[in-house]
Amino acid sequence: MIIRAIKGLAKSIKNKKRTIIRSIVAVWLVLFIALLGGKAYQHLDQHESRGAIAVENGHFGESYPTPIYLDQGWDRSDSLWFYNTTQGSALLPYDFFLELELPAVESTEKLRDIATIDKYRYLPQDESFFNPDGLPLGFVKDTYKGDDYVGYTCAACHTGQVNYTDEKTNKRYAIRIDGGPAMADMVGFLMELEASMDATLKNTTKLDRFVDNVLKRNNGYSDRDDVIKDLEKWTLTMKQYNMVNESDVEYGYARLDAFGRIFNRVLQHVLNKEQAKRALLLAHDENGDRILTEAEVELVLKDITDPTVIGNEQFALVLRNLMSTEPGYPGLTKDELTILKDVFFNIPNAPVSYPFMWDITHSDYVQWNGLANNASVGPLGRNVGEVIGVFGILDWKAKDPGFSISAKLSGQSKNKPQIDFQSSIRHTNLRRLENQLKTLKSPEWPVEIFGELDEKKVKRGELIYAEYCQSCHEIIDRNNWDRIVIANMSNLDSVGTDRKMAENSVNYTGKSGNFKYTYQATDAGTIVLGEEAPVAALLTAATKGVVGTPEADKLFIRRWLDWLYNLASSFFENEIKASVKAGDYFPDTTGKPYDSLLAYKARSLNGIWATAPYLHNGSVPSLYDLLLPAKCDPENGVMECRPATFEVGSREFDKVKVGLKYEGYGGTVFDTSVEGNFNTGHEYAAGNTALPNGEELKPLNKQQRYDLLEFMKTL
């Protein structure tokens, strides 16, 4: 009897094991099939020109033919998949973007028409399999919780183009650069978007036309009132975003203070009602007079239903209440609003060039100041932070305490309540995009278009590069799969370039919300956050919370399987391992745990010819100008120096100076006398900046500068 029972138990265990094994095999088989299907799907778009189209009579009179591509390791389907893969960005309801008109009363032109897209230097695209509505490059349709949105992809900011006319044949070329820096004026475009929505609400004819066109699309809106209500909500949201991020430094083309704006989005969603109330009550003008009374503060905050997380929509209502002139409301002026804005947010006044993307997956540290360690799950966290900045929907809300991976990762394990970091951010796509970038190579100088290089100059320039550049900018083989690109850091005092971006990353603080009294790790040790905390710490904590939260728009089982797979892939497939930063930088200390960020990195210069303008803030228009001193000194014979002002916006390539045309066409004016725009520092070729080892170099003469440029074209 006992033996029979034991045998039965053994059989039962054996059957259960078999069932478990079969279940595991089935799950992994489904995942494997899904991966194969995803890989096949990735190659479905084979548009002949990768969607690129010619533009006639473009902005600044800059017409160009259908762009061509260089060999960067990607075929047509690779580029088109990168352009059109969603990452969870939700700038605007999709139908709104398709139907909005320009703000001028008499205009019926669509905001998305080629002329406006080209005006803001985004790249127009043809219709294709992944882009059936012919959206601009880097704009994509995404769906979240059943609603369609238009959002940004990585490609919007990280796809470049240069135009060139052969002087001998007069043949015109346009060259698309995958992973290259965009020329986009994102701020100008978003201001135009706000103006378009505002004008639509205020003009009956425009509004009627807009509502009719949206309803004809039959895509989720039931009636006129439904459309108008949503338009009012999104107009207020965009108005709020633009006001919060208003800067005293004009960005213009080819630049964005991405981190400043990411910081502000995090602060807006971390802020809780208690801290908001206290800050509003303490806000005062320059005379020391309070701006708001207690009664006004109560009215301003009356629409906040979640005291733990105010969030995007409720914050927009706070802004509306602050501006309201109804009885009892404060009806604040713009100056008074600016004072309140500065209580909660930081001015994003350190715009930088959009960085190029080749070699990013092979780099040990990324971002201009080496902020992001690229090892382990670092790339996933970095990309999550990026989507937070480009309008990912952050459905953060309070939840009761309990077992929570996101709470553990973000330091909230003991909090009551905790933040649930649900969002529209697509972790799986971010991982796939990162994998795609592993195969992207830098563009080589196209001799078939620009002409052959002078080998004698190249040989002379190679010697100069070895002496003046190579100690920081190592030479790498673009075809070496195992390459590791080392970020050689130079502290602000030694490199001498504009300090604003690096200093903001260290000095900016904000209200900590539910992260108050939480423990957060830094390279110098664990810190405890007070009510006013470093935004760098808040961004890291919030990013960890999002990384620890599975995608909301998937069924339960798939949601968690994908989450586990993404984390496992990040750990085991990432070839970059944790390492100490290279170079000369201030060490982090317990008193100053972020001081190592007061530096800028030097990376390899392969493909550098296609990435103008130069320096981290785009303050130098060409490589030739970069080899000059920042200031002229006629008394000492220094007659040639970097331009103090220049225009930005043209894509016309200057193959002699290696940069873009920068005068005489009406682009945005870059004034290097403004803090944040300084063009000083990195004057090695001018003999004004010593090498990291302290060696002082002689200034190069004109011939030597052109020899060095000739060699740099080969990188």
Question: What is the pLDDT, as a whole number, of residue 158?
Answer: 97
671 lies in a domain? no
Torsion of CA 128, 138, 242, 547, to 10 degrees: 120
145 lies in a domain? yes
* pLDDT one-digit tens code per residue, 132-173: 999 999 999 999 999 999 999 999 999 999 999 998 999 999
pLDDT, average across residues 402-419: 92
Q: Is 488 helix (H, G, I), strand (E, B) or coil?
A: strand
Query: Within a 10 A sphere around the Cβ of 488, how many other Cβ atoms?
Result: 23
* pLDDT one-digit tens code per residue, 434-479: 999 999 999 999 999 999 999 999 999 999 999 999 999 999 999 9
Cβ 704 vs Cβ 596: under 8 Å: no
Q: Are both 405 and 529 inside the same structural domain? A: yes
* pLDDT one-digit tens code per residue, 603-636: 899 999 999 999 999 999 999 999 999 999 998 8
**Backbone phi and psi for residue 373, each to the nearest 5 degrees, phi listed first:** -75, 130
Cβ 344 vs Cβ 271: under 8 Å: yes
291-325 b/e with 16+ CB inside 10 Å = b?
A: bbeeebbebbbeebeeebbbbbeebbbbbbbbbee
Q: Are both 507 and 382 inside the same structural domain? A: yes
pLDDT range class, residue 648, cuts 50, 70, 90:
very high
Q: Are both 4 and 141 inside the same structural domain? A: no
How many residues are given for the chain?
A: 715
H-assigned helices in 532-610: 535-547, 556-572
Torsion of CA 485, 86, 548, 362, to 10 degrees: -10
| CA pair distance 493, 421, nearest whole angstrom | 39
Residue 23 has pLDDT above 60, yes or no: no
Domain extent, residue 10, equals: 1-41
Question: What is the pLDDT, as a whole number, of residue 96?
Answer: 98
How big, in percent rounded to 5, are the helix, strand and coil portions of the chain?
Answer: 40, 15, 45
394 lies in a domain? yes
User: Which tokens go with 294?
Assistant: 């207690």
Q: Are both 580 and 490 inside the same structural domain? A: yes
637 lies in a domain? no
Q: Are both 16 and 83 inside the same structural domain? A: no
Question: What is the pLDDT, as a whole number, of residue 312?
Answer: 84
Q: Are both 320 and 407 inside the same structural domain? A: no
pLDDT range class, residue 501, cuts 50, 70, 90:
very high
Considering the chain, what percentage of its residues have pLDDT values greater than 70?
95
Q: Are both 406 and 509 inside the same structural domain? A: yes
17 lies in a domain? yes
DSSP bridge partners of 671: 645
How many structural domains are present in the chain? 4
**Backbone phi and psi for residue 263, each to the nearest 5 degrees, phi listed first:** -55, -45
| CA pair distance 705, 237, nearest whole angstrom | 50
| Residue 584 CB contacts under 8 Å (≥ 6 apart), including other chains | 489, 490, 491, 494, 599, 692
Residue that terminates a domain, selected from 301, 320, 344? 344
Q: Could you tell me how far CA 370 lies from the centroid of its own chain?
A: 15
Q: Could you tell me how far CA 140 lies from the centroid of its own chain?
A: 16
Q: Are both 317 and 171 inside the same structural domain? A: no
Q: Which residue has the tokens 């339960």?
A: 556
| CA pair distance 603, 582, nearest whole angstrom | 11
Cβ 490 vs Cβ 692: under 8 Å: yes
Cβ 624 vs Cβ 612: under 8 Å: no
**Backbone phi and psi for residue 585, each to the nearest 5 degrees, phi listed first:** -145, 160
